[in-house]
Structure 1
Amino acid sequence: MPIRYVAKLGTGHTPSRQKPEYWTDCDVPWVTLADVWQLRDGTLHHVHDTKEKISKLGLANSSAVRHSAGTVILSRTASVGFSAIMGKDMATSQDFATWTCNRELDPKFLLYVLRAMAPDLRRVAAGSTHKTVYMPDIEELRTPLPLLDEQRRIAAFLDAETARIWGLIGARQQQLKLLEERELSRVFNSIAGTEEPGARKSSGLRWLGDVPVDWPVLAVSTQYEVLLGKMLNQERARGEYLRPYLRNFNVQWDRIDAEDLLYMNFPPNERSRYEVRPGDLLICEGGQPGRSAIWDGTVSEIYYQKALHRARSRGRSSVRWLFYCLRAATALDVFSVEGNSTTIGHLTGEQLRAHRFPFPERRTQDRLVSQLEEAAEQAKRTGELLASQVELLAERRQALITAAVTGQIDVTAARGVDV
């Protein structure tokens, strides 16, 4: 049955922003794309609060409509396919379609029908700037229409089953979080020397605590050559010496993405200064200060910009050891606390060179790094398995909703794992 035959189809509007009087004394809840975040994971059925409100005057002088509680909404522009039920009387922007159900259609059943078709709606959305499902297509949307009691049984069944699946997803996500916390704990313990049996401790760093007495705590500059990259300028993309370079965007934790590279002019007299060699550690100056990764030489000739520091070992310490030191310090927001409070996320070369970390002898560094690498690889495999389970559970939830609302399963006979 076309949904509009059993539910009143509507939409919304935005009162003119050129009329300040329409935007004073605002008390009418108004659903906009700014509220889609509430709907993304599909666990929220009823919307009670909105980020913005409009006034009664704005409502009266625009095409906006106050819809009654129980009206079902569907986002149809930009963030396409997210749905919910109004928990109170509300208006919407033009980015939503609305259906106010008659006595033949249960709002919760319609909500699940819309969620079943959400992947298809996203596929058919059109538009060059914002993907949109246009109102003529919305008018053609159809719903299965079992008897009202059956609709309610299906909705109650899906309430219970999807909640159970989300409980499993939440448990897996918590395991992923704990896995990451355990890995960070290993890193912290390794650079603090707490896993060195029988070691006598001496005062280390305020944020790190005591370290073994034979581990000197030294400035980064004593172990590594640290240098910022080349400043960007208007002429960077012109010249006869265009070369690829790495920027903050390319450097993630323990991974450098060399797929999306930009080019800048690096004449011969600058190349030795700004060249990145395999084994160099690149450290983000901004964004997430301290985020770092080691260059593996994927691109034979490459350089770097000023948003990154390049750390090159002077031979006494491993760059991999510095990577783990930075991982621990960043996790504890050390650079944010010690940085300039007038800037956001900024790690200067002076701060980095002067920062102090424990530096055991090289053999100890290599041994601890090897242990961390082995544990990280195992954690990665476990994390991939957990992430795969989360993905499969989400797919099962979507398939279950579709099967239930289209009558592919008998919800009166379905029980838990038998579905």
Structure 2
Amino acid sequence: MTQASPNRLSEGSSVSWPSQWRTVPLWSIFERVKDINHPQEELLSVYREHGVIKRADRDDNHNKAALDRNIYQLIHPGWLAVNRMKAWQGSVGVSPYRGIVSGHYICFRPKHSEDPRFLNWLFRSAVYTAEFASLSRGVRPNQVEIDNEWLRSLQVMLPPLEEQRRIADFLDAETARIDQLALKRRQMRSLLTLKRERVIESTLGLERAQTTDGLVPLKHLVADVTVGIVITPAKWYVEVGGTPALRGLNVKPGFINTGDLVQISAEGHAVNRKSQLNAGDVVVVRTGQAGAAAVVPAELDGANCIDLIVVRPGSKLSPRYLQYVLNSDYASARVTEHSVGSIQAHFNVGAMKQIPIPSIPRSEQDEIVRLLDTRVGALDLLHRKLDSQEQLLTKRRQALITAAVTGQFDVSTANGAT
């Protein structure tokens, strides 16, 4: 394809578009419409990875629909829906469905004869995601949003209609192929997760322990169980020079993520001695992913924690063994059963103390940990490889979309582009 000189959609972004493509502002092909009071229509959402989808088709959408659906907006096939708060992440799409979307979205009715599938791919390409980010305003990432007036002047690059259709046909087919490859890897990861849990359950001998009265409450096996700072912890926060403090978002099953630690003042650390951590303690999430447990590593010895249960194993219980037990399905079921709270359930210290734990000698615990590290480690390695492959497919998918909708190659001659 003949390339023109770079055309700037916005300052700082540059793409070399084919010379025969034309440029039009968004307002010339779409008009803003807010059509509400259609509560009986099917619920739709805009997903970053999938564009406009039916909410009923996804079991991973945890955002609750509003009780008053009259505030939702009706859209039709070919309409452009923009999540004003997440457009900068790619939550934009041209709908293939009729239904209602959030009242906070910006919705546009088409007034053009372009191919809607091409426009969907175009607006969801990396180059346009960058454009939406450049048009969004806000102090913090979670508070950034885009406004209708800023969108109106967005420059839309359009090839001839027949080429739009060829590009859309190509991307429909190629992304479907990539999606199938990614789906197979997700399915394999799910099977590995199930096998991992079965290995843990059988190696820990939890089923056997439950049928032979080999379980005792956790409080009889540990030195102490306490809880981190729960009363206005933010009053102790400092930007620099403080003591690191773990929160629930830092604790995942089996490991601690130190990438987003807060710090508390020296005074806050001194006042809250009960929540100070020692290497080898086991911290357990109370709210959110309740029950997720991890051993405190040496580099966090002397840190503090916020709204976490802290278990001090003592000499009778191996920290790593306890971590394996608490992250098992067996323990998760008991955490769920005893979590309280109508809005956001949390797990309390009293319930933690009563969780039944296998009572076996420390030498047996250490041997079980050694076996699990070997068996689970092999499964986790395979899981990470599949995850890495899926991430690579996602990157290739986005690169292919962006290259196709910006005219970087002729899709009519492309074969096996991925």
Q: Which of the numbers 35, 41, 50 marks the counterpart of 1:42?
A: 50
Residue 12 of structure 1 corresponds to 33
8 Å contact 2:26–2:156 — kept in the other structure? no
Amino acid at match of 1:356: P
8 Å contact 1:30–1:93 — kept in the other structure? no
Aligned partners of 2:135, 2:159: CA distance in 1, in Å? 25
What runs of 5+ residues in structure 2 fail to find an aligned partner?
A: 1-21, 58-64
- Show the 5 A alignment for 1:287-298: 287-298=288-299
Q: Which of the numbers 66, 79, 97 marks the counterpart of 1:72?
A: 79
TM-score (norm 2): 0.74
Amino acid at match of 2:311: A
Aligned partners of 1:282, 1:113: CA distance in 2, in Å? 46
Residue 132 of structure 1 corresponds to 146
Residue 286 of structure 1 corresponds to 287
Counterpart check, 1:106 vs 2:115: yes
Aligned partners of 1:352, 1:182: CA distance in 2, in Å? 27
8 Å contact 2:81–2:93 — kept in the other structure? yes
Residue 372 of structure 2 corresponds to 372
Amino acid at match of 2:375: A
Judged with a 3 Å threshold, the aligned counterparts in structure 2 of structure 1 residues 231 and 169 are, in CA distance, closer, same or farther, namely closer
Aligned partners of 1:235, 1:45: CA distance in 2, in Å? 40
Amino acid at match of 1:281: V
Judged with a 3 Å threshold, the aligned counterparts in structure 2 of structure 1 residues 5 and 251 are, in CA distance, closer, same or farther, namely closer
Aligned partners of 2:41, 2:271: CA distance in 1, in Å? 62
1:234-281 Cα distance to aligned partner (Å, 9 max, x none): 698479xx855434343322223444234264686974x443211111
CA shift, 1:28, in A, is 8.2
Amino acid at match of 1:115: R
Residue 413 of structure 2 corresponds to 413
Amino acid at match of 1:345: A
Helix, strand or coil: the match of 1:87? coil
Residue 159 of structure 1 corresponds to 172
Q: Which of the numbers 208, 221, 238 marks the counterpart of 1:223?
A: 221
Judged with a 3 Å threshold, the aligned counterparts in structure 2 of structure 1 residues 260 and 341 are, in CA distance, closer, same or farther, namely closer
8 Å contact 1:252–1:292 — kept in the other structure? yes
Judged with a 3 Å threshold, the aligned counterparts in structure 2 of structure 1 residues 406 and 127 are, in CA distance, closer, same or farther, namely closer
Amino acid at match of 1:383: H
Residue 333 of structure 1 corresponds to 333
Helix, strand or coil: the match of 2:95? strand
Amino acid at match of 2:31: G
Amino acid at match of 1:313: P
1:315-347 Cα distance to aligned partner (Å, 9 max, x none): 122121111111114665222224558796343
1:16-54 Cα distance to aligned partner (Å, 9 max, x none): xxxxxxx6xx458699xxx54x432226579999x6798
Aligned partners of 1:177, 1:95: CA distance in 2, in Å? 33
CA shift, 1:154, in A, is 2.3
Residue 198 of structure 1 corresponds to none
Helix, strand or coil: the match of 2:312? strand
Judged with a 3 Å threshold, the aligned counterparts in structure 2 of structure 1 residues 85 and 46 are, in CA distance, closer, same or farther, namely farther
What runs of 5+ residues in structure 1 fail to find an aligned partner?
A: 16-22, 195-200
Residue 197 of structure 1 corresponds to none
Residue 201 of structure 2 corresponds to 188
- Larger of the two Rg values belongs to structure: 1
Judged with a 3 Å threshold, the aligned counterparts in structure 2 of structure 1 residues 76 and 143 are, in CA distance, closer, same or farther, namely farther
Count of paired positions: 376
Amino acid at match of 1:113: L
- Show the 5 A alignment for 1:328-367: 328-329=328-329, 332-339=332-339, 345-367=345-367
